C-alpha cells in the first residue's frame, strides 16, 4: 500500500510519530503504539475511534511502502516542514511534546530520539521544549 490518496493532517501526524518511534530504535512496542493511538485521538476528539484507527492503519501502509529508513526519515522531515507552514506555534509545540511522550512510553528518551526531537524542533523554528 502506498501513501493514502488523500493525506489528512492526521495521516501526516501519524506518519511523523510512526517514523519517530520506529526508526529511532528499530522497535515499535505496544506501549508506543497505545501512546500514538491515544495522542492521535486527542488531536480529533470528536472523531469516532474507528476513523482514527483507519487513519493509523492507512499510515502504517504508507510507512511500509517506503523500504528504507533513510527515505522514511526524509519523508518525516518533509512532513515537519509542511507542519511548520500550516500549524500554529501552539500546535507545533504540541507535536514536540507528543514526540517526548512517545519517547517516554518505552522507558527513557534514547540518544536517537533526542536527536530526532532536536531536528524537528529546528525545522519548526522553535526553542527547546524538552524541559516541559
Q: What pLDDT band is residue 110 in, cutting at 50, 70 and 90?
A: confident
Nearest to 20 by CA among 108, 88, 120: 120
The verdict on pTM exceeding 0.75 is yes
Question: pLDDT digit string (tens) for 44-96?
Answer: 999 999 999 999 999 999 999 999 999 999 999 999 999 999 999 999 999 99
d(CA 83, CA 121): 11
Q: Residue 3's pLDDT is what? A: 56
Neighbours of 127 (CB within 10 A): 9
d(CA 60, CA 52): 12
Q: What domains sit in the chain, N to C, each tagged with a CATH number?
A: 9-123 (1.10.3680.10)
Amino acid at each position: 500500500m502506498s501513501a493514502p490518496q488523500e493525506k489528512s493532517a492526521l495521516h501526516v501526524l501519524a506518519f511523523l510519530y510512526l517514523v519517530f518511534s520506529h526508526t529511532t530504535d528499530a522497535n515499535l512496542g505496544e506501549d508506543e503504539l497505545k501512546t500514538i493511538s491515544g495522542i492521535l485521538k486527542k488531536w480529533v476528539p470528536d472523531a469516532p475511534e474507528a476513523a482514527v484507527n483507519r487513519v493509523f492503519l492507512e499510515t502504517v501502509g504508507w510507512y511500509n511502502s517506503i523500504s528504507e529508513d533513510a527515505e522514511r526519515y526524509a519523508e518525516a522531515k518533509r512532513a515537519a516542514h509542511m507542519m511548520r507552514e500550516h500549524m500554529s506555534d501552539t500546535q507545533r509545540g504540541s507535536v514536540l511534546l507528543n514526540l517526548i511522550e512517545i519517547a517516554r512510553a518505552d522507558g527513557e528518551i534514547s540518544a536517537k530520539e533526542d536527536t530526532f526531537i532536536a531536528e524537528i524542533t529546528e525545522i519548526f523554528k522553535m526553542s527547546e521544549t524538552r524541559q516541559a
